[in-house]
Amino acid sequence: MVDPATGFHALGLTPALLSVIESVGYKNPTSIQRAFIPRVLSGADVMGQAQTGTGKTAAYLLPFFQRWQETDQQDPAALVLVPTRELATQVCEEAQRLTQHKNLNVVPIYGGRPMDTQVRALRRGAHIVVGTPGRLLDHLSRGTLMLHQVRYQVLDEADRMFDLGFRDDIRRILRRCPMDRQTLLLSATMPTDILTLAKSYMRKPIIHLQMSPKKVTIDKIRQSYFTVDTENKFELLCRVIEREQPRQCIIFCERKIGAHRIYTKLCSERKRVATMHGDLQQSQRERIMKAFKEGKIVYLVATDVVGRGIDVMGISHIINFDLPMDPENYVHRIGRTGRMGKDGAAVSFVTPEEGKELTRIEDYINKIITEDKLDDFVAYTPRVKNPDEPREVKPIFGRRGRRYSQRL
Ligand code: AMP
């Protein structure tokens, strides 16, 4: 039911935009939308930290649509920077769905697609460009993209955009945008050092909205872990799938080669399996994402290329076949499930040597992850020299680490 006091009507949006919002079926704004939209409409630079899957894309797109006016300007008025090609496609789809302007062109710019098609799209006039840093820089250096008209710039998954891999590229891109621009940053996680760096690109005063700082993972997601020896991981995966019967799931691996190996093995056990990683051709990546979104693929064995922002409502389970290298990635990965208030489950495989990593994740999310077990499968063998002797429990890392080692 639409709530007149807290509905989209209360946010200062135009009737034309409200009717598009109604037609796509959004009844009430999410909390990030409620907090973000009026502040962005006021012209401020805003940083929004909110749980993943809570409507961040619409939160930054709607204010732009509200203010965009048709002119004969060919160069982009808005630039949205995203870390992955899949997220770029998704943002473009959401923009096309949500705009009231029939003549507004949204152009995705990312690698793996022919340059000349993108050049033609840019020449026809691009009002919003949604892109990944590498390909945007290619266009900038060839002079096929100009950013001097950008008034509105968004860094989606901002912490990722400012981490070391992308930092220089971002600096070079943002230097091409005019000083007088509005900057918006969105992410579920924002480490302090990145926050300081990100702020240096924004005009003061900066509004920093933290929707639920202590709860970076969504409560509705059931989180558990198995202690498992590396050689038993695949068997455990099959058993967990058998027990959980996921509607759709992503099985995350740290490396492309690992993802490919698990994918090949899983194909002999299950139907509707696919893999997704950076070594695939762009056309394959797009085909797989489409099939996954349509529910034709049930098991997606992937690296972190799909760890961020990807919105597939059918995902009921996330399986961390390999624990992520850093706690932020854990939050992003498991945020692929439990979207828009739905339930979800995240199961992580932890080798006995990875106690420290699990502890760091638990500290970061401020929550103890429940230990999981299967009645008929022993996934690891305790490292005891003489089974008759009592086992010495060595505290490993900090408070939670000690607890983890005692759990073994
Ligand atoms: P996002 O966090 O932007 O990836 O959005 C997650 C999902 O929520 C997407 O499928 C959106 O289309 C959807 N969504 C965004 N805002 C709303 C809203 N106010 N009501 C219902 N669904 C929404």
> Using a 6 Å cutoff on CB, does residue 340 contact ligand 1?
yes
> Using a 6 Å cutoff on CB, does residue 56 contact ligand 1?
yes
Nearest alpha carbon to residue 121 among 95, 139, 147, 97: 139
Residue for token digits 């009026």? 38
| Side chain identity at residue 9, one-letter code | H
Query: Does CATH number 3.50.50.60 belong to domain 221-406?
Result: no
> Using a 6 Å cutoff on CB, does residue 187 contact ligand 1?
no
Residue nearest to atom 14 of ligand 1 (CA): 55
- Is a pLDDT exceeding 70 seen at residue 136? yes
Band of residue 51 on the pLDDT scale cut at 50, 70, 90 = confident
* Ligand 1 probe mutation, 13, 20, 21, 30, most atoms within 8 A of CB: 30
Residue nearest to atom 4 of ligand 1 (CA): 53
Atom of ligand 1 lying closest to residue 8 CA: 19
* Chain segment 84-123, per-residue pLDDT in tens: 898 999 999 999 999 988 889 999 999 988 999 999 999 9
Q: Is 300 in contact with 307 (CB distance < 8 Å)? A: no
* Neighbour-count burial for 234-257, b at 16+ CB within 10 Å, e otherwise: bebbebbbeeeebebbbbbbbebe
> Using a 6 Å cutoff on CB, does residue 26 contact ligand 1?
yes
What integer pLDDT is reported at residue 392 of this predicted model?
46
* Chain segment 264-323, per-residue pLDDT in tens: 999 999 999 999 999 999 899 999 999 999 999 999 999 998 878 788 888 999 999 999
Atom of ligand 1 lying closest to residue 340 CA: 8
> Using a 6 Å cutoff on CB, does residue 86 contact ligand 1?
no
Integer Cα distance of 395 and 14 in angstroms: 60
Comma-separated ranges of CATH 3.40.50.300 domains in the chain: 8-210, 221-406
Q: Which CATH class is domain 8-210?
A: alpha beta
| Stretch 128-145: mean pLDDT | 96
Band of residue 221 on the pLDDT scale cut at 50, 70, 90 = confident
Name the pairing type of β-strands 249-252 and 299-302.
Answer: parallel
| 219 CA distance to ligand 1 middle (Å) | 18
Integer Cα distance of 8 and 98 in angstroms: 13
* Chain segment 354-404, per-residue pLDDT in tens: 988 998 898 888 888 999 999 889 888 876 655 565 554 444 444 454 455
Instruction: Calculate Rg over the CA atoms of the chain.
Output: 23
Provide the residue count of the chain.
Answer: 408
DSSP 182: E
Sequence-ordered list of residues with C-beta below 8 angstroms from that of 191, at least 6 positions apart, any chain: 159, 328
What integer pLDDT is reported at residue 391 of this predicted model?
52
| Stretch 256-264: mean pLDDT | 97
DSSP H/E element including 237? helix 233-244
| 182 CA distance to ligand 1 middle (Å) | 23
